[in-house]
Amino acid sequence: MTEILALDGLVKRFGSRTILDGISLNVSAGEIVCFVGPSGTGKSTLLRCINGLEDIQGGRISFEGQAVQGNPSAIRAVRKRVGMIFQHFNLYPHLTALQNVMLAPVVVHKEAKAEVEARARALFDKVRLAHRINAYPAEMSGGEQQRVAIARALCTNPHLLMFDEPTSALDPETVGDVLTVMRDLALEGRTMLVVTHEIRFAADVGTRMVFMDQCRIVEQGDPRAMVAGAQTERARKFLGTIHG
């Protein structure tokens, strides 16, 4: 499998506080890597470093062979190929669902409107929101907004999708809709990084689980095997508490 993302000794500090302390990780095309771990261990920060929303203080990140550091145009080139889905959706409130999805392809990728619209409409079918296409974010439930956010990320044909706790701001009854869409994406063979507390989803869908604690990767491996019995004490304890 072709390697798509490589992290090598990544270090992230906020001021004098170290948040990520030497993270190394390689991700191949088609992998679904689920990140789990206690709050505040730097999972969100890790994703944000990968698309350059945070600068890094040490190590290397390369995406499809291109370094994600330094000059803004290189960072933007990477961002064009990486889709990000946020915990709080971050839909643009002044645009309809359809306009949200179409904005970046038209503005950033300079694609023809008609083409983008056809693709966007197909994506709304995929996320099962064809009927909400002209709604504004304020008129939609959290689950609907998050599915629009997924469509928005997909519409630029990204090579990698990053999800930061996509379901933890949702009402319990809408979590399922979002997870269903994510399962579909997994079946299509998309490459995904998913920070989540949904251990069952990670075990079912993930191809790899990465357990992080205190700024480091403590253990990684097959999700089902780790849920059944992790190697390290800390991972066992964490997966036990969150699962039971």
Partner 1 sequence: MGYSFTLRTIYPYFGDLWQSALNTLSLSLLAIVLSIALGALVALMRRSALRPVRLLGAAYVEVMRNTPLLVILYLVYFAAPEAGVRLSSFMAALVGLTLNSAGYMAEILRAGLIAVPPGQFEAAQSQGMSSAQVLRHVVFPQVFRTIYAPLGNQVIAVILASSLATAVALDEVASWMQTVGSSSFRFFETFVVAAVVYLVLCQSVNIARILIGRKLFPQGRRA
**Smallest separation (angstroms) from ligand ATP to the CB of 39:** 3
Site for partner 1 in 106-125 (CB under 8 A): 107-109
Site for ligand ATP (CB under 6 A): which residue of 19, 123, 153, 160?
Answer: 19
Of the chain, the end-to-end C-alpha distance in Å amounts to: 35
Q: Where are the alpha helices (H) located in 21-141, listed in sequence order?
A: 43-50, 72-79, 97-107, 113-126
88 in contact with ligand ATP (CB under 6 A): no
Q: Nearest approach, Cβ of 153 to partner 1 (angstroms)?
A: 8
Fill in the per-residue mask, 23 to 52: x = in contact with ligand ATP (CB under 6 A), - = not in contact. ----------------xxxxxxx-------
Q: Whole-number minimum distance, CB 212 to ligand ATP, in Å?
A: 7
The span from the CA of 56 to the CA of 182, in Å, is 29
Stretch in the footprint of Mg ion (CB under 5 A) among 15-23, 37-45, 112-120, 122-130: 37-45
Residue 192's contacts (CB-CB under 8 Å, 6 or more residues apart) are 31, 32, 33, 160, 161, 162, 163, 182, 185, 186
Beta strand 160-164 with 82-85: parallel, antiparallel or unpaired? parallel
Contact 105, 157 (CB under 8 A): no
Determine which residue in the list 41, 44, 100, 145 makes contact with Mg ion, applying CB under 5 A.
44
H or E element in which residue 5 lies: strand 3-14
Binding-residue pattern over the window 63 to 102 for partner 1, x denoting contact by CB under 8 A: -------------xx-xx-x-x-x-x-xxxxx--------
Q: How far is the CB of 87 from ligand ATP (least distance, A)?
A: 7
The Cα 94–Cα 76 span in angstroms is 24
| Interface positions with ligand ATP (CB under 6 A) | 14, 19, 39-45
